[in-house]
Amino acid sequence: MEQNTKQKVKLIMVEEKPYIVNLEQPQVGDEVIVTVGGQYPSLVKLENQTVYDLIINKRHTLTQAFRIFMKPESIQFTSEQIEKVLENEGLMDCVLEDGVYKYSL
């Protein structure tokens, strides 16, 4: 992400751990969170073209893949902040300022 560029991101909980994903199209090699109808989030590595095609070039319209932007060990949100973000469907704006990611609803 470039300095001072605003980007939409989304907070998704997987096994009670917060992940921040971006809304860009995933690529082969990316780690993604796959949901079915917005539920049942699972971590998947798009390790090759076959896996990519099964998840991204799908026939199942309810399946969505979100590219992982930040893993739980890098997220410094309190449980109250996480609840507030999830009330907003998990959507946030993210800006990189002076090497620090800043988030707003």
Mean pLDDT on 2-24: 91
Structure tokens at 10: 């989304």
* pLDDT tens figures, 26-36: 999 999 999 99
Per-position DSSP letters for the chain, written without gaps between them: --TT-EEEEEEEEETTEEEEEE-SPP-TT-EEEEEETTEEEEEEE--SHHHHHHHTS-S-TTEEEEEEEE-GGG----HHHHHHHHHTTTEEEEEEETTEEEEE-
Residue 1 has pLDDT above 80, yes or no: no
State the total domains in the chain: 1
pTM of the predicted structure, to 2 decimals? 0.88
pLDDT at 58: 67
For residue 71, what are the domain limits?
A: 6-104
For 11, residues 6+ apart whose C-beta sits below 8 A from its C-beta are 18, 19, 20, 21, 77, 82, 85, 86, 90, 92
Judge whether 68 lies within some domain. yes
Q: What percent of the chain clears pLDDT 70, i.e. is strictly above it?
A: 95
* pLDDT tens figures, 45-64: 999 999 999 888 766 678 89
Judge whether 1 lies within some domain. no
Which of residues 80 and 57 earns the better pLDDT score?
80
